[in-house]
């Protein structure tokens, strides 16, 4: 295995799929001449040329629509948004066209495309650049939603997303592009919809994806010093969600805390918590608790941001609550 940064794992997945399949291309703002805003596509213009690595105008609605049209005509576009906050400008193409065309055509028109780019908070970027969008896209039928936390998962799931005949939302983190991890070389595919137990434990189940996985890991390490062993599940895919994996863990530990970088009302954590209590109620020795953002926009002030953002201490407090250690 090679040790790669998160950005390098994504680049490797893109490059391997573009070499394998000439119908795959990438388009977005600054993906070509500038090598990508976050250097994800560095060197790809030189290898694949301007017909397959395409700089677009600053018009998310326009190039999202071009991607939809290309997918309808047999290509496999990867559409990069510089941030998913900007994808709101093109959301009509995503929700009303990409998500629905295969259904409305009775399956006659596949929609093999990926929308990818940074999601959620990247630090002190203010309220309009700090939104976590996975629950929004997961709400709409026709879309698959992926939010990975480690480089190996990013590579394996992006390759699967590019090969899928349905539109896939692939959410990354600007703060994790430099994160390093071992990544299998060559053909590495992870099925969409399969989570993973990334830490074995017996006392409480932590469900966490994206950056929150790393918050959960930090909390679990601290809790282990006091004899509390957390099992950490990284769902990796938000939709379809690997509920059987989570239920299996909850039936073992009898307790669950969900860590989610989104607001509490109608978020992913709300849906997952409901499903756990519906399907495994008799196995629970405590209510399912959530650690989320507060129900406010992101503050710019650093002290306020640190209070606003989910922390390992909040996870520890929630675990202590469900294990009755408070």
The DSSP code for 242 is -
Place of tokens 């137990």: 197
Query: Do the Cβ atoms of 234 and 198 come closer than 8 Å?
Result: yes
Separation of alpha carbons 256 and 289, rounded Å: 7
Of the candidates 144, 98, 309, 163, the one whose C-alpha atom is nearest the C-alpha of residue 237 is 144
Q: Active-site residue 174, yes or no?
A: no
Contacts of 284-289 with C-beta under 8 Å, sequence gap 24+, read 284/250, 284/254, 284/255, 284/256, 285/254, 285/255, 285/322, 286/254, 286/255, 286/321, 286/322, 286/323, 286/324, 287/322, 288/256, 288/257, 288/258, 288/322, 289/256, 289/257, 289/258, 289/318, 289/321, 289/322
* Residue 163 DSSP SS3: helix
Separation of alpha carbons 187 and 43, rounded Å: 21
How many CB atoms are located within 10 Å of the residue 140 CB? 17
At 160, list the tokens: 């699967």
What is the full DSSP assignment across 246-265? HHHHHHHHS-EEEE-SS-ST
The one catalytic residue among 60, 80, 134, 174: 60
Length of the chain: 326
Give residue 237's Cα distance to chain centre.
Answer: 7
Q: Active-site residue 129, yes or no?
A: yes
The DSSP code for 299 is P
Place of tokens 């650093």: 302
Query: Do the Cβ atoms of 189 and 12 come closer than 8 Å?
Result: no
The one catalytic residue among 12, 17, 29, 129: 129
Question: Which residues are tagged catalytic?
Answer: 60, 129
């Amino acid at each position: 295995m090679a040790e790669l940064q998160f950005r390098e794992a994504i680049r490797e997945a893109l490059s391997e799929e573009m070499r394998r399949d000439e119908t795959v291309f990438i388009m977005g703002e600054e993906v070509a001449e500038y090598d990508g805003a976050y250097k994800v596509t560095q060197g790809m213009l030189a290898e694949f040329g301007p017909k397959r690595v395409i700089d677009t105008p600053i018009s998310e609605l326009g190039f999202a629509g071009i991607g939809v049209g290309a997918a309808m005509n047999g290509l496999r576009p990867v559409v990069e948004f510089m941030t998913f906050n900007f994808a709101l400008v093109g959301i009509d193409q995503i929700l009303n066209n990409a998500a629905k065309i295969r259904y409305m055509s009775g399956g006659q028109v596949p929609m093999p495309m990926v929308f990818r780019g940074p999601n959620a908070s990247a630090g002190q970027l203010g309220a309009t650049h700090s939104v976590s969008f996975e629950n929004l896209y997961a709400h709409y039928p026709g879309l698959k939603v992926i939010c990975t936390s480690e480089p190996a998962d990013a590579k394996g799931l992006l390759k699967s997303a590019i090969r899928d005949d349905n539109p896939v939302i692939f959410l990354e983190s600007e703060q994790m592009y430099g994160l390093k991890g071992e990544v299998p070389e060559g053909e590495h595919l992870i099925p969409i919809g399969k989570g993973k137990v990334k830490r074995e434990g017996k006392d409480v189940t932590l469900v966490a994806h994206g950056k929150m996985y790393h918050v959960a890991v930090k909390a679990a390490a601290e809790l282990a010093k006091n004899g509390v062993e957390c099992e950490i599940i990284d769902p990796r895919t938000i939709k379809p969600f690997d509920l059987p994996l989570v239920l299996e863990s909850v039936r073992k530990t009898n307790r669950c805390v969900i860590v989610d970088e989104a607001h509490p009302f109608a978020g992913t954590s709300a849906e997952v918590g409901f499903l756990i209590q519906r399907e495994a109620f008799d196995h629970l020795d405590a209510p399912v608790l959530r650690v989320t953002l507060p129900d406010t926009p992101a503050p710019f002030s650093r002290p306020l941001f640190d209070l606003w953002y989910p922390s390992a201490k909040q996870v520890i407090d929630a675990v202590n609550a469900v294990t009755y250690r408070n």
